[in-house]
Amino acid sequence: MYSLITDNNALAAYCQQVAADSVLALDTEFIRQSTLYPKLGLIQLFDGQSLALVDPLSVSDWQPLQQLLLRPDCIKMLHSCTEDLEAFATIGINRISPLFDTQLAAELLGWGSSVGYARLVEQLSGLILDKSESRTDWLARPLSSTQLQYAANDVHYLYPLYAKLCTELTTAQHQLLLQEGEQLNNRKLQQLPLQYRYLEIKNSWQLSPRELAVLREMAAWRQQYAMEKDLALGLIVKDAAMLELAKRRPATAESLLNIPAIPPREVRRHAKTLVDIIAIAKEVPQHLCPQRFYHTECFAGHKETSEQLTQAVKQAADELGIPAGFISVKRQLNEYLNWCWRVSDQDRALLPIPEYMQGWRKDKLLPYLPKPTHINR
């Protein structure tokens, strides 16, 4: 059974009721089809005894839940929590600690990367979950009893996984997971400033300095527009289109139509803005254009350095007995490479410190990595 919480007092009462518990299972249901930010539709909470479904469209005072999710003596467990953390942030809950991600626990145990929730439940308990409501519109009201039970099951079967996983994990592995939980919290607070968003675009390192100047201005504009309108980046201008625009640098709205990567709808909506951005970027003095790489006298090359980093991660993983996928994903590798080589020494101070150089990775991974001579670490 579950209780449906639709007002502030009921949420405060539930948070008080479970305040002394040592483990709390969490989940969220949200919609994210065309928006930059997730639209939160439901929050599920289960302490092993009382299961609550919280309606974020009715509740307005989140302080009791915020306090509960920060209690240091209560483990908060989620599965594949990155988007859940983003969803919680939309209601002002910007940190959940201590955090235990069951998908990461499975990866750390060597059971594979990105293990799905239903698969993990089946693996540990033999139960086969019904996923028929996975495409539900969680913003619609009223939600049916079938939809609510589906959502309740996500935390009902999540809660027992903690004890099962703890029997498999060593003390050191358990502590590492909690440390990674802290890093997951920190990650969403460390965003690239607008003028460096171009660094995240795949293959942007292949562009010339002038092309990079154009891409820098477009990527900054697109991110700002996305945040203002709450639109997914790809619905404004796709990465491939921005790369083509940076290379061709069209001077008129009509010439945009000659670029196949840009749909006519986007031309009509953003033509003048894009042409103006390109014109401004064309006037940037050459010495102020971003370089492909800095300190090239001691840089092997993008592909070569990427391979060096990949091999360093593998070596660290082998010697530490940690799966390489747990230590590093492609995004983190690129973040480190960009920070070391793709920005000037002056600009580097404006960027977030790479995850390779934070938290537990600073001690366990950083000693294995190539050490650029131009950076003091």
Question: Is 0.85 topped by the overall pTM?
Answer: yes
Q: Name every residue whose Cβ is closer than 8 Å to that of residue 94 and which is 6 or more positions away in sequence.
A: 88, 185, 188, 189
Q: What is the pLDDT of residue 224?
A: 98
Angle at 359 between CA 355 and CA 362, to 5 degrees: 75
Q: What is the pLDDT of residue 267?
A: 66
DSSP secondary structure, 125-141, as one string: H------TTTT--TTSS
pLDDT digits (tens, 9 = 90+) for 65-78: 999 999 999 999 99
- Tokens 């139509």 — which residue? 257
Distance in angstroms (rounded) separating the CA atoms of residues 76 and 68: 9
Please state the rounded mean pLDDT for residues 142-170: 96
Q: Which of 84, 211, 217, 355 is catalytic?
A: 84
Token pair for 197: 């968003």
User: Do the first three CATH levels of 3-187 and 296-368 match, i.e. the same topology?
Assistant: no
Q: Write down the architecture of domain 296-368 according to CATH.
A: Orthogonal Bundle (1.10)
Q: Which of 2, 29, 117, 239 is catalytic?
A: 29
Q: Which of 14, 117, 150, 356 is catalytic?
A: 150
Q: Is 137 a catalytic residue?
A: no
pLDDT digits (tens, 9 = 90+) for 260-302: 777 777 667 899 999 999 999 999 999 999 999 999 988 999 9
**Superfamily name with CATH number, domain 194-288:** HRDC domain (1.10.150.80)
Percent pLDDT > 90 in the chain is 86
Q: Is 29 a catalytic residue?
A: yes
pLDDT digits (tens, 9 = 90+) for 38-74: 999 999 999 999 999 999 999 999 999 999 999 999 9
Neighbours of 97 (CB within 10 A): 16
Residue type, 95: R
DSSP class of 340: I
pLDDT at 97 > cutoff 80: yes
3-187 fold: Nucleotidyltransferase; domain 5 (3.30.420)
Domain ranges of the chain: 3-187, 194-288, 296-368
Q: Is 356 a catalytic residue?
A: no
Q: Which of 2, 14, 27, 107 is catalytic?
A: 27
- Tokens 């940037």 — which residue? 284
pLDDT at 34 > cutoff 70: yes
CA 294 centroid distance within chain: 28
Assess contact for 12 and 61: CB atoms under 8 A: yes
pLDDT digits (tens, 9 = 90+) for 302-325: 999 999 999 999 999 999 999 999
Q: Is 101 a catalytic residue?
A: no
Distance in angstroms (rounded) separating the CA atoms of residues 356 and 365: 7
Highest averaged pLDDT of the listed ranges 131-140, 191-200, 259-268: 191-200
Q: Is 230 a catalytic residue?
A: no
